[in-house]
């Protein structure tokens, strides 16, 4: 899985679905989910930076889309982005896995 990925200075317009996403994997099946997510294997994105992007007119086909979506990812920084004209929340932290996320600017 990616570490220290940066997506910066991009324009996403007229996209049918989510503009940017990070999605990891955790072991939640070995014990039938009794203990919840197990991220000890480290199979998830960390330290992603989303900076100075413009996202608008997204979700033309998929109404559950966002400018930024993450699930089973942690320590993401969203800095000085502009997100508007989407079908739902511009930023979606799906499950809060790991924490350490920051929205700045």
Q: Show the domain range for 23.
A: 6-104
Sign of CA dihedral 60, 19, 86, 43: positive
Q: What is the structure's pLDDT at 4?
A: 97
Q: What is the structure's pLDDT at 1?
A: 78
pLDDT at 44 over 70: yes
Q: Across-strand partners of 93?
A: 70
Full-model pTM = 0.88
In a domain, 52, yes or no: yes
In a domain, 47, yes or no: yes
For the chain, what is the domain count?
A: 1
Residues 6+ apart with CB under 8 A from 9: 51, 52, 53
pLDDT tens-digit readout, 8-35: 999 999 999 999 999 998 776 666 666 6
In a domain, 67, yes or no: yes
pLDDT at 102 over 80: yes
In a domain, 1, yes or no: no
**Highest mean pLDDT: which of 80-84, 87-91, 93-97?**
80-84
Q: What is the structure's pLDDT at 29?
A: 67
In a domain, 12, yes or no: yes
Mean pLDDT computed over 41-56: 95
∠ CA 6-96-33, rounded to 5°: 120
pLDDT tens-digit readout, 49-88: 999 999 999 998 988 899 999 999 999 999 999 999 999 9
């Amino acid at each position: 899985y990616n570490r220290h990925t940066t997506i910066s200075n991009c324009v996403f317009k007229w996209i049918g679905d989510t503009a940017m996403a990070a999605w990891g994997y955790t072991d939640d099946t070995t014990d039938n989910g009794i203990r919840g997510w197990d991220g000890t294997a480290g199979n998830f994105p960390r330290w992603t930076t989303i900076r100075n992007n413009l996202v608008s007119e997204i979700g033309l086909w998929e109404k559950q889309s966002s400018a930024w979506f993450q699930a089973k990812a942690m320590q993401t920084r969203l800095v000085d982005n502009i997100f508007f004209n989407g079908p739902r929340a511009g930023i979606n932290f799906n499950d809060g896995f790991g924490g350490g996320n920051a929205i700045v600017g």
